[in-house]
Structure 1
Amino acid sequence: MTAAALTGFFTGFSLILAIGAQNAFILRQGLLRLHVLPLVLFCAVSDAVLIAAGVAGFSALTTAMPALPLVMSLGGAAFLVVYGALRLRAAWAGGHVMGRGAEAQSLGAALAMAAAFTWLNPHVYLDTLGLIGAVSTGFAPGSERLAFGGGAVLASFVFFFSLGYGARLLAPLMRSARAWRILDLIIGVVMLAIAGKLVAGVALG
């Protein structure tokens, strides 16, 4: 079971490690030290639910609902375009300094953003329901497969907590408005690039 758990951990960690919209959002919130605990918990628990579904074999959902990938791709792309445009506007306007305006976003609004980044991202379904679900079939049903899923879930918790709270180590670099403009520019470009990739995938599909 140890081998299954380790395989699950490293599989899950490798899939989530890539820079994406959700990770960029958590990084920014971690730098602001705003609602970090509920946000990282939300993202990790959401991943856990999806991983459990993938390991349990619910990847057949996309087969039963063939229009789901298209709907998720278009909805996710629209959301990312809006959020990316907001970050680019913030980069252009400048004026943000660490600690300023941290009270502006409520917990509910932050969780709603996290939910959109998580559940409107079709890639998360590919990674969890698809890839992790597929890899899990290499282990015997029962304790081995549960160990694999547990390892993948643990990877999500380790990653999101490290990202959310580890972002504070970058705080000394984010004291200036210029640093925030650069960060917002990078995040905005990443968001628009991901949105473009989603739309391109729909067009090619």
Structure 2
Amino acid sequence: MRPLPKASGAWKTGWQSEQELSVAVAAINGFLLGAGLIIAIGAQNAFVLRQGLARSHVFVICLICALSDAVLIALGVGGLGTLVSNSPLMIRAVTIGGAGFLFVYGVLAFRRVLSTGVLKAGREKPAGLAAAIAACLAFTFLNPHVYLDTLVLIGALSASYAGAARLAFGAGAVLASFVWFFGLGYGARWLAPVFAARRAWQVLDIFIGAIMWSLAAGLTARVLSSMS
């Protein structure tokens, strides 16, 4: 009797192509989800925008924001999201801290509205690097939404994938963060001519202050409702 034929190379190639396609689709889905969650008017994005307009420590700030998202997304894909979603005390503590920080930063934004002069990129001494990093970390980790988005939501949706596809899903979400933050930080310089006038900075700071206070009010209302 003749020996049974071995599996054809064409069948192997077809299976590998299908697997590669599923990984690519997972990566695209992760990227789109990450972009949808991060591209919104919020405290962190407003801070990055202002740093970009002032050309103050742009690379470091963008890198911190993107790497922070990457770490949280990796933890979420790894399964830590379940722990966070089951810990209301942790979420409440972060919410209270975030509300306080956003309120104070809103006060600072409204104070800048009353200041004289124009912040011109490259002409004025920027804020210290340590202060900028501290503010960036506070905007990132004192925001309860970042945990719900990265750890819980992205982590939960990644559970529908397995193996390489799950890793690709997380990598796609991480890539979205890098593209967005660096695009926002360095793309802001195209708006520099608009912000050559003091009134433009005043409008921006009023806008930022209003965002901070509205977010702080929303977080405070959430805490009060959870305690009632």
Flag whether TM exceeds 0.5 (same fold): yes
- TM-score using structure 2 length: 0.86
Q: 2:157 aligns with which of 127, 135, 150?
A: 135
Partner of 2:11: none
Alpha-carbon offset, residue 102 of structure 1: 3.9
Alpha-carbon offset, residue 62 of structure 1: 2.1
Q: Report % sequence identity.
A: 53
Alpha-carbon offset, residue 92 of structure 1: 2.8
- TM-score using structure 1 length: 0.96
Aligned-partner Cα distance in 2 for 1:13–1:41: 17
Instruction: Report if the CA contact (8 A) 1:12-1:155 is conserved.
Output: yes
Partner of 2:107: 85
Aligned-partner Cα distance in 2 for 1:42–1:104: 18
Q: Which moved more, 1:32-41 or 1:95-104?
A: 95-104
Change (3 A) 1:166 1:67: same
Q: 2:95 aligns with which of 73, 97, 100?
A: 73
Instruction: Report if the CA contact (8 A) 2:98-2:144 is conserved.
Output: yes
Aligned residue identity for 2:145: H
Partner of 1:197: 218
Q: Which moved more, 1:49-58 or 1:131-140?
A: 131-140
Instruction: Report if the CA contact (8 A) 2:68-2:140 is conserved.
Output: yes
Q: Which moved more, 1:128-137 or 1:3-12?
A: 128-137
Alpha-carbon offset, residue 28 of structure 1: 0.1
Q: How does 1:1-205 map to 2 (within 5 A)?
A: 1-62=23-84, 65-99=87-121, 102-140=124-162, 142-205=163-226
Q: Which moved more, 1:64-73 or 1:104-113?
A: 64-73
Aligned residue identity for 1:180: W
Alpha-carbon offset, residue 91 of structure 1: 1.1
Q: Which runs of 5+ in 1 are unaligned?
A: none
Instruction: Report if the CA contact (8 A) 1:51-1:129 is conserved.
Output: yes
Instruction: Report if the CA contact (8 A) 1:39-1:114 is conserved.
Output: yes
Alpha-carbon offset, residue 65 of structure 1: 3.8
RMSD: 1.3
Aligned residue identity for 1:174: F
The structure number with the bigger radius of gyration is 2
Q: Which runs of 5+ in 2 are unaligned?
A: 1-22
Instruction: Report if the CA contact (8 A) 1:98-1:176 is conserved.
Output: no
Alpha-carbon offset, residue 61 of structure 1: 2.6
Instruction: Report if the CA contact (8 A) 2:54-2:126 is conserved.
Output: no
